[in-house]
Structure 1
Amino acid sequence: MISREQNFSFFDNPFFSYDEFAKFEQQILQLAEKMALPLQDYVIDHLAVRVNSEQSAQRWLSALLMCGEILSDNIVNGRKIYLIQLDTPLTFANQQVQIIELPFPKNKHYPQEGWEHIEAVIPFLPKETANAWVERINSHFLWNKMTDVSVKVSEPKVEGERLPNPSIAVSCDHSTCIKVHPYHIKTIVVS
């Protein structure tokens, strides 16, 4: 569980609501339980927010830059996505998470702005292809057989990236989402 003292420097900024963050963590833990995904077994490499307007994205970016620095600001699938590396990691699901993803809006309207998803790393097996990775994850967890969650498989495209980056997103009620991918986001950025 989150401790205000552990995340004091982040939540000292009045822009960030400790209560909203704690609610997001609780929703993620409930979704992980439903997915039978033991988060303690996988690295959570980043947390992500969603916004609906350029103004909201700029407010988030300004607030995040008071707590960290830009790790990456690439165009992904046609929109700017910032990765902010925090000076002090946030404690989330008993892990230290140092990166926040901030996608600028495209043409989609989200039901609510703010914390939206986490991404966890389930590594490739030796010599495993992206398609084989997706098949392995689907056959192991059977998320695509569940009727009370939505599952989306994608492969984000960033100019210059050399590593395959498949992603499986599982959401419940389209408000909270857990994504899994094979490489840590820092490894993808360096590639």
Structure 2
Amino acid sequence: MDPLIQQLSPAAMALSVVDFWQKMDALAQLIGLDYHDLKADHLAMRINDQVVAEQVHRAWLSEGQQISNAMINGRAIIVIHLDSALQVTDHKIDCLELPYPSDKAYPQQGWEHVEFVVPSKAQTAEQLVEQIKRQFPLMAKKWGRFAELGVKVKLSSPQGAGERLVNPTVAFKHQGVCIKLHPHSLQAVIASEAK
């Protein structure tokens, strides 16, 4: 088996999630996010090669059921509901997001981000930012210093065809790790497509 495919296999990724979570936790502390009471909605992988993505996709299908295959920003985004949730500290994560490659190459392949649900009625990313600042005062204090801390903040509202639930996103990136916050779970967004 190709070493990269083996490295991205469900068994290997389940082992590497602890290391990823520690890096994510360090980023959360850096930005002042107390995520412990938030629902960890899903984990996302990044893969640079189409053939590798196809093989990894097939391997992960043995771990759960594919609940979405949406075209977002010109590429397929696969969501798999896992039969056995990934347990990391006190969080159980039951969905995997597997975006197929785009024209952007990631310096490392494997776990790339975790998304947490911050329940909100925000319709825009800017409205979500205002709520996040109110909910996490330490983050609000640090907000103006993110650039000097090396943290990139990105606001977006990615949407697949047919999605009716607006789910703006605020993403924080630092040293190859990303935390995303949004108002609705991935499963709720996918369910909105069926309405």
Same structural fold, with TM-score higher than 0.5 when normalized by the shorter chain: yes
1:42-57 matched pairs, under 5 angstroms: 42-57=38-53
Shift, 1:190, TM fit: 0.5
The answer for the alignment partner of 2:159 in structure 1 is 157
The answer for the alignment partner of 1:4 in structure 2 is none
Q: Percent identity?
A: 35
1:30-179 matched pairs, under 5 angstroms: 30-125=26-121, 128-130=122-124, 131-138=126-133, 140=137, 141-142=139-140, 144-145=143-144, 146=146, 147-148=148-149, 149-173=151-175, 175-179=176-180
- CA-based RMSD of the aligned residues comes to 1.8
The aligned length equals 176
Shift, 1:17, TM fit: 4.3
The ranges of structure 1 where at least 4 consecutive aligned residues each deviate by more than 4 angstroms after the TM superposition are none
Decide whether aligned partners of structure 1 residues 15 and 55 sit closer, same or farther in structure 2, where only a CA change above 3 A counts.
farther
Shift, 1:166, TM fit: 0.6
Q: Per the alignment, in what secondary structure is the counterpart of residue 36 of structure 2?
A: helix
Shift, 1:39, TM fit: 1.6
Contact 2:120–2:128 under 8 Å retained in 1: yes
Q: Per the alignment, in what secondary structure is the counterpart of residue 25 of structure 1?
A: helix
Cα separation, 2, equivalents of 1:76 and 1:39: 27
Question: What are the Cα deviations for residues 30-57 of structure 1, in whole angstroms up to 9, with x where unaligned?
Answer: 1111122112111011000000011121
Contact 1:79–1:104 under 8 Å retained in 2: yes
Question: What are the Cα deviations for residues 89-131 of structure 1, in whole angstroms up to 9, with x where unaligned?
Answer: 0112411111000000011000010011000001115xx4324
TM value normalised by structure 1: 0.85
| 2:90 aligned partner, one-letter code | N
Structure 2 gaps, min length 5: 1-8
